[in-house]
Chain A
Amino acid sequence: MKNIWTIAKREYDNYFNSPLAYVVAFSILLPLGIYFSAILYFSAQNAFMGGGTAPNSTQINWLFVFLMVFLSPALTMRLLSDEARMGTLELMLTAPIRDFELVAGKWLGAMMFVLSVALLTLVFPIILENLITPGIDWKLMIASYLGMILITSAMLALGVGISAIFTNQFAAYFVTLGLFFFLWFMIGLPASLLPQGGDVLNYLSLSYHFSQDINSGSLTLGGLTYYLSLTALGLFIGTTAIEIRRWR
């Protein structure tokens, strides 16, 4: 377990050496800031007209998760593919660490980076808390953040898993992005059109559990299971891909 932490720590530090990570953080925080300002502006206008409801900052978290569909593959694409390309994978595979520890360490490093960015977004609910009476619904907020962590965890694990398959980081990026598109849009869309059987597709959709349940405050067992299963699947794919590399 200590090895996972050692690897995670290095990957986390490594993000701050690369411009990519700053671009990703910027690409999340800027739209979120604009969106938040817009929410405040329109809510204020509505309130001035005498109507509307108090703004809800969980909408911000939805945008965060939506942006992660595009940006998280950029955070995971090089994690293992680059090790294979540079040959440093040989170093890792001859060090006394398990293949799973390597994959999990990479995932945890990415996770820590996203959590750092998520920590910065806490500024929005804190501002909101001070603007509205009687303050925001913190229970809902905690559920929303928990959902955000869960879905991010699933995305990053799948990203790391796919990164282990490729030696080209851009191939890893596009395959990961394609998978997320499929899980986010393609599965959800027919679900809303089908008269029957849509539930199954909804269950499999990446966005459904977060958008419909968790972000509205109900942390369902289904949602929890779904995201944790995807996380496990991603790490499993990564570990298996590394093992296959050994045998080749």
Chain B
Amino acid sequence: MIKVSGLTKDYGARRAIHNLSFDAQQGEIVGFLGPNGAGKTTTMRILTGYMPPSDGEAVVAGYDVVEESLEVRKRVGYLPETVPLYTDMVVFEYLKYMGELRHIPNVDARVEEVLDMVGLLDRSNGFIGNLSKGMRQRVGLAQALLHRPEVLILDEPTIGLDPGQVVEVRELIREIGKERTVLLSTHLLHEAQNLCDRVLIINKGKIVAEDTTENLQARLLGAERVIVRVRGEADELADSIKSVKGVRKVETLEDGAVEFEFASGKDLRPEVAKQVIKDGYDLLELRPLGMSLEEIFLELTGNDAKKK
């Protein structure tokens, strides 16, 4: 659905993105993660046909973004970062206008449908200028969904929303992502973690990592850490765990819990659990300590900075 190869964009002398290559399949939600100024918005603007790349090519929904820009734009729904809206228009009129530009049949009914999807049906007669930031964000999202696009490109879709709305919007994106391709940028790592099938980490215009969130964690860790907690005194707990074959780096924490590690791919949790219970402890918790995406992110972008 999206296929990008060797994409490069220069703003004058500054190179915003450099030789970017990735793809996204139908029914996939791909997260675009990176610090500010990493080139996320630039990439999205190229994919939506807003501006041409300096070099390389991008194919969206089967059409080249430069050669067949109009065809691409027909098939892409785009929510820009700043959510530009005509503030002097009424919500309904605005969406109807955007729908007419996209030649949507039965546009009134469709506008009501998307307003319902984003939960703004009761504000459809209000001026956009009077809406809160979160509501404007949802108007922008409604605009992006209006024409049932094959590809949805969302630049920071949940920014400015309150927690309840964030959950709703994520649910909506997840729903859409089942059938269509969604590319979303975010600086919220947990958002990428719980929403995206795959994450692209971009820094200084280059992709520094690309994988599923789980694989990224595993790849960086090389091993899995687990924390064990039991009821009451647990002086010998560490010894008990050590007795399981394959366990290494056993550490007792200050609160009595014990952390250990094993090589990834070979889950030793059942064995540890059996051993702990056999030794007479009341097992309260046995939890994998995955490296959070935050840590991965800092590791990747930080390493890159160190090299320079």
C-alpha gap A89/B51 in the complex (Å): 12
* Contact call A86/B103, Cβ cutoff below 8 A: no
Is A96 a contact partner of B74 (Cβ separation < 8 A)? yes
* Inter-chain contacts of B52 with A (CB < 8 A): 246-247
Total chain B interface residues with beta-carbon distance under 8 A: 27
The answer to whether B100 and A91 touch across the interface, beta carbons within 8 angstroms, is no
- A3-B101, A90-B50, A246-B51 in contact; A95/B73 too (CB < 8 A)? yes
B159 within 8 A of A: no
**Bound-state Cα–Cα, A128 to B98, Å:** 46
A88 and B101 contacting across the interface, CB-CB below 8 Å: no
B98 touches A95 (CB 8 A): yes
Interface string of B197-215 (1 = CB under 8 A from A): 0000000000000000000
Residues of B within 8 A of A96 (CB): 70-71, 73-74, 101-102
B100 → A minimal CB distance (Å): 5
Stretch at the interface among A6-14, A167-175, A210-218: A6-14
User: Is B16 in the interface zone, CB < 8 Å from A?
Assistant: no
Whether A94 lies near B48 (C-beta < 8 A) is: yes
Residue B80 at the chain A interface, CB threshold 8 Å: yes
Pick the contact of B97: A6, A87, A90 (CB < 8 A). Answer: A6
Are B50 and A95 in contact (CB-based, < 8 A)? no
Q: Is A139 an interface residue (CB 8 A)?
A: no
Q: Mark A1-44, 1 if CB is under 8 A from B, else 0.
A: 01100110010001001100000000000000000000000000
B132: chain A residues at CB < 8 Å are none
A200 within 8 A of B: no
- B243: interface (CB < 8 Å): no
Q: Report whether A87 and B80 are in contact in the complex, using a CB–CB cutoff of 8 Å.
A: yes
What residues on A are CB-neighbors of B50 within 8 Å?
90, 93-94, 246
Known contacts A93-B50, A247-B51; A10/B87 CB under 8 A: no
In the complex, A95 Cα to B99 Cα: how many Å? 10
**CB pair B70 A6 closer than 8 Å:** no
A90/B84 contact (C-beta < 8 A), A96-B74, A246-B52, A247-B52 known = yes
> CB within 8 A of A6: which of B49, B101, B143?
B101
- Does residue B300 face the partner (Cβ distance < 8 Å to A)? no
Asked if B103 contacts A2 (CB within 8 A), the reply is yes
Q: What is the chain B residue whose CB lies nearest that of A87?
A: B84
Within 8 A of B (CB), among A93-115: 93-98
Q: Are B100 and A6 in touch, CB under 8 angstroms?
A: yes
B86 interface contact, C-beta 8 A: yes
Interface residues as binary, A70-101 with B (CB distance below 8 Å gives 1, 0 otherwise): 00000000000000001111110111111000
Closest to B54 in A: A247
Once the chains are docked, how many angstroms separate the CA of A10 from the CA of B102?
14
Closest-CB distance, B43 to chain A (whole angstroms): 14
> What are the residues of chain A within 8 A of B255 when measuring CB–CB?
none
A→B interface (CB under 8 Å)? 2-3, 6-7, 10, 14, 17-18, 86-91, 93-98, 246-248
Provide 26 A-B residue pairs closer than 8 Å at the C-beta atoms, listed in order of the A residue.
A3-B101, A6-B97, A6-B100, A6-B101, A10-B97, A17-B88, A86-B84, A87-B80, A88-B84, A88-B85, A90-B84, A91-B84, A91-B143, A93-B50, A94-B49, A94-B50, A94-B80, A95-B73, A95-B102, A96-B73, A96-B101, A98-B70, A246-B52, A247-B52, A248-B11, A248-B51
Closest 5 CB pairs of A and B: A87-B84, A96-B73, A96-B74, A88-B84, A94-B48
